[in-house]
């Protein structure tokens, strides 16, 4: 028997009605809306915190980054620290060995100043190297050291000659006077006094000895020498 068309249509309509999805309930819609509102509140709070942080950073920018325009020098740009150590050129020269040959080489090769040569002569003297000290002192005297010239004169002066020094075998008044005069020309008052005294005593064979004696003694007296004043009387 053929199926009734009306009955089939009624069955299809019933099945279609069962397939329709039921709409969401009002309480579910309210939950979703509340969730979205909470999310918006959190995002808004975060934005407000970021704005506050940015404002604080701007306000305290000098404390964090330093004043505007101030540049901290890098390690390469930073000036080198000043050193208390003297430059190599200003450092004291290495002292020469205490030997006669070393003293000779020093004078020939280094050509020291009169003051340096005299200082070395004193050092050699202190070490007992009298021969080396003698040539160093003579060099200093010849190059303008009045102190060295005075000491050279005393080595030859009969009044101060020391035979045990082992340098000058015999005293020589004329040589002593020459060294005294060199020292006196350099302004050494002791040399002026002793030279004037030798000239006055007649120990030197010089035609102008009396006049020269007065000349040097007066210069020494003007410089404050009491002995020179006594010798002039």
38-52, 103-117, 200-214, range with the lowest pLDDT: 38-52
The pLDDT-based confidence of 89 (bands split at 50, 70, 90) is very low
The reply to whether 215 and 176 lie within a common domain is yes
Asked whether residue 79 is domain-assigned, the answer is: no
The reply to whether 177 and 226 lie within a common domain is yes
pTM for the full predicted model: 0.60
Domain range for 178 is 146-233
> How many CB atoms lie under 10 A from the CB of residue 125?
17
Domain boundary among 144, 179, 207: 144
**pLDDT at residue 53, rounded to an integer:** 77
The reply to whether 105 and 155 lie within a common domain is no
Asked whether residue 125 is domain-assigned, the answer is: yes
CATH number at residue 150: 1.25.40.10
Domain boundary among 117, 144, 171: 144
**pLDDT at residue 79, rounded to an integer:** 54
């Amino acid at each position: 028997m053929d199926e009734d068309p009306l009955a089939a249509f009624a069955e299809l309509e019933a099945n279609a009605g069962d397939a329709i999805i039921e709409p969401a309930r009002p309480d579910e819609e309210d939950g979703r809306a509340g969730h979205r509102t909470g999310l918006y509140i959190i995002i808004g709070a975060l934005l407000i915190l970021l704005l506050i942080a940015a404002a604080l950073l701007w306000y305290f920018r000098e404390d964090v980054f330093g004043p505007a325009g101030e540049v901290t020098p890098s390690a390469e740009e930073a000036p080198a620290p000043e050193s208390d150590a003297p430059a190599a050129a200003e450092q004291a020269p290495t002292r020469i060995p205490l030997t006669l040959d070393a003293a000779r080489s020093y004078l020939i090769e280094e050509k020291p100043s009169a003051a340096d040569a005299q200082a070395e002569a004193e050092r050699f003297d202190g070490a007992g190297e009298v021969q080396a000290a003698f040539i160093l002192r003579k060099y200093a005297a010849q190059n303008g050291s009045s102190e060295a010239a005075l000491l050279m004169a005393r080595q030859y002066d009969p009044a101060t000659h020391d035979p045990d020094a082992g340098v000058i075998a015999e005293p020589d008044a004329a040589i002593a006077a020459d060294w005294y005069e060199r020292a006196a020309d350099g302004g050494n008052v002791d040399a002026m006094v002793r030279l004037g005294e030798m000239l006055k005593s007649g120990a030197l064979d010089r035609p102008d000895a009396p006049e020269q004696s007065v000349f040097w003694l007066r210069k020494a007296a003007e410089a404050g020498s009491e002995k020179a004043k006594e010798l002039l009387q």
